[in-house]
Amino acid sequence: MTPLQEFIEVLKIHRDTAFEKEKLYEDLVLTEYYEGRAKAFEDAISFAEEHLKKEGEIIRNAFSDAQHGAVESRWTAEEYFEEIFNTKER
């Protein structure tokens, strides 16, 4: 599993826990609270899954670039990562 996939699994555990707790309480305020939490986790899961798709595409493109010689051979993997993904400026 990638770190993002692991993160999605953790979000799903928290979502499921919120759904379970929502069913435990008869108090309307607590029920609405846990329902809101579950919905927030659902939104976060959807967002992360979309990013996982984008991440996969980026990784495949980077791999393809490397296979076809589009990557400067003088770069280390770390330099390539920093150059392509520009992580220091984000």
Q: Is the pLDDT of residue 71 over 70?
A: no
The secondary structure of 17-36, three-state, reads: HHHHHHHHCCCHHHHHHHHH
- What is the pLDDT at residue 80? 75
Q: 12 CB contacts (<8 Å, ≥6 apart)?
A: 41, 45
pTM of the model: 0.73
The number of beta carbons lying within 10 Å of the beta carbon of residue 38 is 19
- Over residues 40-63, the pLDDT tens digits come to 999 999 999 999 999 889 888 888
| Cβ atoms of 37 and 18 closer than 8 Å | yes
